[in-house]
Structure 1
């Protein structure tokens, strides 16, 4: 073995060490990132749930009364995500998500008016389980409450879903 082969062998050894170090660091970073993501999702949902029972008020943004877009606006603001103020505008930002790929923290949008594709309502997915997909929203009749996406009222009015994380 000559000198250049010995030096190459040393560099190859350090190269492997460096590669293992980078991979380990990136996996640890990925794990920390997933934990931070889960923490943010939980904070958004928990913030939304603190508004349960708040009466509906069109254009309202406080515990005295709020509409559906204010619930989203305030809940996501708790983790530093700034959303537009209306549900229609909120439905145009973030990543599009198919209904079958929804996860907790995603936002669902509905057309509750005469036009079938015009977004007029929104809610935050709070739970996915055997009994369907639960979401929290500010209902004009019940105030801030949770419902099942697959119930007979909401399912046919579903328009799209978005992910902000």
Structure 2
């Protein structure tokens, strides 16, 4: 049988290939681990928030007897040892800004409700994203208590003021 080609590799040629492959594997494993850690922390926060579903609304409240929107998030993020400001307006100034198109579970979403059209007065936590127009968030509604709602419901869509990412890699 004839040999079609001969493969000759010397050590000088092999070393850069081996080093490049090793570095690629190290960095890709590290990035994957960071993403997994963010996912675990996000799941913990969302799980904590969902445990409050059905809790009645109480302005200034932070317990199962009654809580407001910022109190819900303070309690939810406590499970991963992250302290949030007490007000929704204060919470709107932490973390990094996220466009609506880039929102992911664990991100905070902010709204201007009531008479003030620009001032942040309400906050929620993104719990699910299924496609472009199906984003669920959990919040403490002044009329319904702690519930999950679609971000694209007309009431919230009109009042949306932005998103922030507090849980990073």
TM range (shorter): 0.7 to 0.9
CA distance in 1, matches of 2:13, 2:87: 57
- Say which SS state the counterpart of residue 22 (structure 2) adopts: helix
Q: Give per-residue Cα distances to partners, 1:85-110, cap 9 Å, x unaligned.
A: 11000001111111111111111100
Measured after TM superposition, the shift of residue 13 of structure 1 is: 5.0
Query: Which residue is 2:50 aligned to?
Result: 49
Measured after TM superposition, the shift of residue 80 of structure 1 is: 2.1
Tell me how large the CA RMSD over aligned residues is: 1.7
CA distance in 2, matches of 1:22, 1:82: 36
**May I ask how many residue pairs the two structures share in their alignment?**
157
* 1:4-153 equivalences in 2 (<5 Å): 13-14=14-15, 16-129=17-130, 132-153=134-155
Q: Give per-residue Cα distances to partners, 1:104-162, cap 9 Å, x unaligned.
A: 11111001121211000000011122562111000111110011111121111111111
TM-score using structure 2 length: 0.85
5+ residue gaps, structure 1: 1-8
Query: Which residue is 1:155 aligned to?
Result: 157
- Say which SS state the counterpart of residue 53 (structure 1) adopts: coil
Q: Give per-residue Cα distances to partners, 1:1-55, cap 9 Å, x unaligned.
A: xxxxxxxx86775555344323211211111111111111111111100000111
Moved more, 127-136 or 79-88: 127-136
